[in-house]
Amino acid sequence: MFGPWWLDLGHGWISASYVALLAGVWYAPRPLVRLVLLGAIVIASLWAWLSAYRRYHLITDTPSSAIRSAAQGYTELYGRCELHPGTLPIGFRSGPPCVWYRYKVHRQSGSPWTPHSHGQSTDTFVLSDATGQCVIDPDAAEVVTTHRSRWREGDFWLDVEYLAPGDNLYALGDIVSIGHHRTPTERSHEVSLLLREWKHDREGLTKRFDSDGDGQINLQEWNQARGAAEDQVDRECIDRPIDSLLMRSPEGRRPYLLSNRDPKDLATRYQRWSWLHAIVFAGTSVATLVCRFS
């Protein structure tokens, strides 16, 4: 019903917590403990229900815009993943070439496999449709992708989800202009993006700004790097088309969604999860009342 587990990991973990908490309710030695555990399920299922239901309605109710006519603000786009002109695909270790990735690494320590590290890329990429292009900043995005690769390197298991160049991409987030006329906040955001890309290439950053040759970037050298980033952003702004757009995480609590799944399929997934959490919420609410007054 819900498809591959890694596409619905957050809701899958919540559903697994229901099972664990219900087992605790069954074996709890005292009524008070049962009541507390049932209350925890009620709170978790209510939050998960509202979260999934909200995403379902945002996907179905937000009209899709062509990039050329997209208004600034919370907007839905649909197009194709592309690299910035003149750049190469990124990838985690020996993983597939991509525009974005999220990884988990487990290490074998004795018999069990234990978590070692996890993270995701922050490099920007391009969303393109028939009318134009929009830069995508994936920082803080909820990414749902059909691509996954797993392999072993020595004592490590690597698990990577990714978006590939050429993928169809659904995007729901905040659109801002990055043309010649920018606010100080927009300029600061662009500088931060560039510095983050430089930090990703640690060797190149050190070679360029490590003036004392100690192999580290101290505060003075970091300020020099920031100044160089500001200069580069300002130079690029002069050559940039005035209607260039950037999609980023919205302010406040509105979700930022990126997915290479069909939008209708994505909406159906959130709808089904909302049904499941609503059923759990209703059932455990009744059980809590029965437990409270019995």
Mean pLDDT calculated for residue range 57-85: 91
Backbone angles phi, psi at 201, to 5 degrees: -100, 75
Query: Would you say residue 293 has pLDDT above 60?
Result: no
pLDDT at 1: 31
Q: What's the pLDDT band for 238 if we cut at 50, 70, 90?
A: low
pLDDT at 121: 92
- Give the other-Cβ count within 10 Å of 23's Cβ: 11
CB contact at 8 A, 73 and 251: no
In Å, what is the CA distance from 115 to each residue of 118, 150, 157, 188?
A: 8, 15, 10, 35
Mean pLDDT calculated for residue range 287-293: 71
- The string of pLDDT tens digits covering residues 112-150 is 788 889 999 989 999 999 999 999 999 999 999 999 999
CA dihedral of 95, 100, 102, 105, whole degrees rounded to 10: 30
Point out the least confidently predicted range of 76-80, 184-188, 244-248: 184-188
CA dihedral of 198, 202, 206, 209, whole degrees rounded to 10: 10
Query: Would you say residue 259 has pLDDT above 90?
Result: yes
Q: What's the pLDDT band for 220 if we cut at 50, 70, 90?
A: confident
Q: Is the pTM of this model over 0.85?
A: no
E strand residue ranges, the chain: 73-82, 100-108, 113-120, 125-129, 132-136, 142-144, 147-153, 156-163, 168-177, 245-248, 257-259
pLDDT at 28: 67
CB contact at 8 A, 31 and 39: no
CB contact at 8 A, 148 and 96: no
Q: What's the pLDDT band for 3 if we cut at 50, 70, 90?
A: very low
- The string of pLDDT tens digits covering residues 49-64 is 898 999 999 999 988 8
Q: What's the pLDDT band for 241 if we cut at 50, 70, 90?
A: low
Mean pLDDT calculated for residue range 202-229: 84
Domain ranges of the chain: 5-179+241-293
Q: What's the pLDDT band for 262 if we cut at 50, 70, 90?
A: very high
What lies within 8 Å, CB to CB, of 13 at 6+ separation is none
pLDDT at 7: 37
Top-confidence residue, 183 or 112: 112
pLDDT at 4: 37
Helices (H), 28-96: 31-61
pLDDT at 76: 96
